[in-house]
Amino acid sequence: MLATHFPLQGIRLSLRSHRIRQCHNLGRGMDSYFLSHLDLLEAEAIHIMREVAAEFRRPAMLFSGGKDSICMLRLAEKAFRPSRFPFPLLHIDTGHNFPEVIQFRDNRVAELGERLIVRTVENAIKAGIARELPGNDKSRNWLQIPTLLSAIQELKFDAAFGGARRDEEKSRAKERVFSFRDEFGQWDPRSQRPELWNLYNTEIFPGEHIRVFPLSNWTELDVWQYIERENLEIPSIYFSHQRDVFLRDGLWMSACDLLPVRPGEVIQRKAIRFRTVGDIVCTAAIESKSSSVREIIEEIATLRITERGARADDRRSETAMEDRKREGYF
């Protein structure tokens, strides 16, 4: 029953029993046989990636240049190197991304020598695939949905890795590791499949696909600890830096042409950093002096708000994220 409801704990118990038997049989110190929690999370994620590579004909990995997708790249390296990845990388570019992140994305892909496919919201709008809504809200997060679904249909992907984690937001907590999407690319939490003992149902009909989340059981703290352990390079905006910002609805937003200030809002120069990266129009910063991964880890351990709390688009309603997911969001 434990493995049914808490698969990661089930893995821990199984591995613990195995290691204790090894220690007993070999007469060695037990400490050297225990896997750390990062080792367990890494092993689970690598197993998931290899399962996808074995079961699907045309998978892809979503790569934005953010911290979660950076960790997925390292996991893919460990799963498949020295061979090339058995899937391309895919980025749905809103055109409103932080320039530092786009530059990092391109540099990292070049280092790996992998194939990157970019589909832009701008081109989707021109092709009539996506339509900008009237009004002052220039966030293109909703427009990523038809752009992504069009790319999946165009390139005939039957599985797509994403970096979502269950700790991010309550609708994410409903997500399966292998998240079934129907022929319209939509997600219905009531139609998701059981995942007993880490066994995954990969059967789909033509037109359907699966979103796969190898980091489902990770937390934000796990991600940063893994970045520290693996000495992974990350975009500079994750670290404290000076930036012009203004306060809107309790959030520090970047001052830029896409976000003109409103009456009463004052641009200030502050030491900030970003916990998550995405559309610059809806991604807020936090005041921070953390200039290293170790300092970020210590900072996160004391915070009382999730990283999604720094996303303006998730504050529109109690179900903002779930509404987007039902339409086909990541």
Asked if residue 109 belongs to a domain, the reply is: yes
Report, as an integer, the average pLDDT of 8-32. 45
Higher-confidence residue: 189 or 4? 189
Per-residue pLDDT reduced to its tens digit, 78-103? 999 999 999 999 999 999 999 999 99
Considering the domain architecture, whether residues 71 and 202 belong to the same structural domain is answered as yes
Residues whose CB falls within 8 Å of the CB of residue 251, separated by 6 or more in sequence, listed in order: 284, 310, 312
pLDDT in the model for residue 329: 55
Three-class DSSP category at 290: coil
Asked if residue 76 belongs to a domain, the reply is: yes
Instruction: Identify the domain containing residue 281 by its residue range.
Output: 236-316
Report, as an integer, the average pLDDT of 239-250. 94
CATH code (residue 155) = 3.40.50.620
C-alpha dihedral, 210 to 216 to 222 to 224, nearest 10°: 40
Considering the domain architecture, whether residues 207 and 258 belong to the same structural domain is answered as no
Of the listed ranges 68-77, 131-140, 231-240, the least confidently predicted one is 131-140
Asked if residue 16 belongs to a domain, the reply is: yes
- Please state, as a whole number, how many other Cβ atoms lie within 10 Å of the Cβ of residue 23: 16
pLDDT in the model for residue 223: 97
Report the distance separating Cα 323 and Cα 329, nearest Å.
9
Higher-confidence residue: 143 or 115? 115
Considering the domain architecture, whether residues 81 and 176 belong to the same structural domain is answered as yes
Kindly report the length of the chain. 330
Asked if residue 231 belongs to a domain, the reply is: no
Written as one string, the DSSP assignment of 25-89 is: HHT--GGGGPPPHHHHHHHHHHHHHHHHHHH-SSEEEE--SSHHHHHHHHHHHHHHTTSPPSS-E
pLDDT in the model for residue 20: 38
Q: Is the pLDDT of residue 239 over 90?
A: yes
Report the distance separating Cα 225 and Cα 297, nearest Å.
7
Considering the domain architecture, whether residues 28 and 72 belong to the same structural domain is answered as no
Per-residue pLDDT reduced to its tens digit, 269-292? 999 999 988 889 889 999 999 999
pLDDT in the model for residue 311: 53
Report, as an integer, the average pLDDT of 257-266. 90
pLDDT in the model for residue 272: 96
Report, as an integer, the average pLDDT of 159-169. 89
Considering the domain architecture, whether residues 217 and 144 belong to the same structural domain is answered as yes
pLDDT-based confidence at 24, cuts 50/70/90?
A: very low
Residues whose CB falls within 8 Å of the CB of residue 254, separated by 6 or more in sequence, listed in order: 243, 244, 245, 280, 283, 285
Asked if residue 227 belongs to a domain, the reply is: no
CA distances from 66 to 100, 152, 197, 306 (A): 11, 21, 30, 16
Report, as an integer, the average pLDDT of 19-43. 65
Considering the domain architecture, whether residues 2 and 142 belong to the same structural domain is answered as no
Considering the domain architecture, whether residues 149 and 30 belong to the same structural domain is answered as no
Asked if residue 64 belongs to a domain, the reply is: yes
Predicted TM-score (pTM) of this structure: 0.83
Q: Is the pLDDT of residue 330 over 90?
A: no
Q: Is 54 left (phi over 0), alpha (psi -120 to 50) or beta?
A: alpha
Asked if residue 229 belongs to a domain, the reply is: no
Q: What is the pLDDT of the chain when averaged over all its residues?
A: 84
Per-residue pLDDT reduced to its tens digit, 299-319? 998 887 777 555 555 545 455
Asked if residue 311 belongs to a domain, the reply is: yes
Report the distance separating Cα 160 and Cα 158, nearest Å.
7
Three-class DSSP category at 157: coil
Considering the domain architecture, whether residues 65 and 166 belong to the same structural domain is answered as yes
Considering the domain architecture, whether residues 197 and 54 belong to the same structural domain is answered as yes
Considering the domain architecture, whether residues 5 and 91 belong to the same structural domain is answered as no
pLDDT in the model for residue 34: 81
pLDDT-based confidence at 35, cuts 50/70/90?
A: confident
Per-residue pLDDT reduced to its tens digit, 176-216? 899 888 888 787 877 788 888 888 988 999 989 999 999 99
Per-residue pLDDT reduced to its tens digit, 53-81? 999 999 999 999 999 999 999 999 999 99
Considering the domain architecture, whether residues 155 and 268 belong to the same structural domain is answered as no
Structurally, the chain folds into a number of domains equal to 3
Q: Is the pLDDT of residue 220 over 90?
A: yes
Considering the domain architecture, whether residues 263 and 172 belong to the same structural domain is answered as no
